[in-house]
Amino acid sequence: RLSMARTSALTALAALALCATACHAVAPSLSAGDAPVLHLRGGQQKAVKKVGILTAGGLAPCLSSAIGVLIEEYTLYDPSIEIICYVDGYKGLLKGEHLKVGANERSLAPVLYTRGGSIIGNSRVKLTNVADCVKRGLVKEGEDPQKVAADQLVADGVDVLHTIGGDDTNTAAAALAAFLQANSYPLTVVGMPKTVDNDVVPIWLSLGAWTAAEQGTIFFKNVVNEHSASPRMLIVHEVMGRDCGWLTAATARMYREDLKTQQMIPSMGLTRDRLDIHAVYVPEGEFDVEAEGKRLKEIMHKTGNINIFISEGAGVANIIKELEAEGKTVPRDAFGHAKLDSVNVGKYYGDKLGAMMGAEKVLVQKSGYFARSAAPNSQDLKLIKDCGLKAVESAVMGISGVIGHDEDTPDLELRAIEFERIAGGKQFNVEEKWFTAMLTEIGQKHPAQIPHFDKKGNAHPIKKTVSGMIDAKIKMAK
């Protein structure tokens, strides 16, 4: 059964890599006794008594469904295992607020497969940011948030904690486990990678990322029609992605592939060049604003409108420097990240480029909240179910880590990846063949890769190209 699950995962991932058309679907519920986790082989199984689940960080199209998968798999494995869900992520853990998953909730777990958002709530809390936790009333003055969280887990009798979130969420959980281990309380922590940016190292595809790209496509298929509301319109589609441009690039690719299938009526003004994307800017790609302004101005004269896709983090460092030089303060969150809504990348470059090309109107539209709050598409749901099964398997075997397809293994093995190897900020590779081919088609110069660095000065890794391996797996499957 585990071999079949692995084959299923590879087939689903292959479909993702080839931009398969996705639709919402719910896999049939397993019957009691049919859980693949029952067929574990090897290793020492852990006697799991109580499981805690929390979601944290921003939303992604996987949170509620991942909760549903975990509940269903644990119930099928051993219905006597207690399950609680902490309300609003680490905030609920600090405050001791949780929901108990009873028999009725267990029977309805598959309902969550078609729900977006997080039914148990999220929050952005950094346990090591003591001042912020005190300010928000999450802990008292003089208390250590990490110890408060650890004490709560002990008080609740949790021996397995599942965290569904990005790198910050999962590394915080790992630190909790280490703290408890040092105090003779064994806690297995198994995370599931959530981020629409697809920027978690060394995970090939994070949960919800593909759905976010699909939803961004749906969003722009409507917004693009606004070009007919005003002559010489510049539409800027701002896509989520602080440091990684994968989502912007994938959304642009999916949109253009869909556009190629649509029938046009040129004699009545319905032309592909007016609906096409004319520029794609990502954080990892260097672009000359002046040169782009001139290029886009020529296209504007021909088509009468311009459509741009831009990551919310593209060129953001330069904008922040400019704002701070003017004496302005850029708000930051508990993790020290600049709040991108205050930077407003889309408006900044929209105004600059709009003036250069003589746009009569600049329309900036952000698809982030629309895309990230969606329910998972069928491909993502398959990935979530496979990762959820592996998460329960790892928990039962007492193996901590973050579940994902490990890019550093020969065959993208789905496994519990060691916490010390988990990091954010993975860069999109602007030399990907499909990306450079797309830029060539729209007449945009291929950008040079801009290296990104963490706070310690280490360069963020560049996402590896694995399409050849996926193609090989498809041939093997046939």
Helix (H, G, I), strand (E, B) or coil at 284: coil
For 149-290, strand residue ranges (E) read 160-165, 188-193, 233-239, 279-281
Distances (CA, A) of 118 to 130, 194, 203, 219: 26, 12, 22, 21
Q: Is 199 a catalytic residue?
A: no
Closest CA to 371 of 212, 165, 240: 212
What phi and psi values does residue 265 have, to the nearest 5 degrees?
-130, 80
Radius of gyration of the chain (CA): 23
φ, ψ (nearest 5 deg) of residue 347: -70, -40
Instruction: Please say whether the dihedral angle defined by the alpha carbons of residues 368, 373, 377 and 379, taken in this order, is positive or negative.
Output: positive
CB 437 within 8 A of CB 424: no
How many of the other CB atoms lie within 10 Å of CB of 338? 18
d(CA 29, CA 107): 10
Name the percent of the chain in helix, strand, coil, to the closest 5. Answer: 45, 15, 40
* Catalytic, out of 88, 132, 168, 197: 197
Sign of CA dihedral 314, 367, 58, 391: negative
Beta bridge partners of 165: 193
Strands (E), 101-175: 160-165
- First CA to last CA across the chain, in angstroms? 19
Q: Which helix (H) or strand (E) is 392 found in, with range?
A: helix 378-396
Which pair of tokens denotes residue 9? 């995962």
Contact 50, 284 (CB under 8 A): no
For residues 285 and 181, give the distance between their C-alpha atoms in angstroms, rounded to a whole number.
43
Classify strands 233-239 and 160-165 as parallel, antiparallel or unpaired: unpaired
Backbone angles phi, psi at 305, to 5 degrees: -160, 160
Which contiguous run of DSSP H or E holds residue 274? helix 272-275
> Hey, which residues does 50 pair with through a beta bridge?
82
Cβ neighbours of residue 263 under 8 Å, at least 6 residues apart?
none
Q: Give the residue numbers marked as catalytic.
A: 197
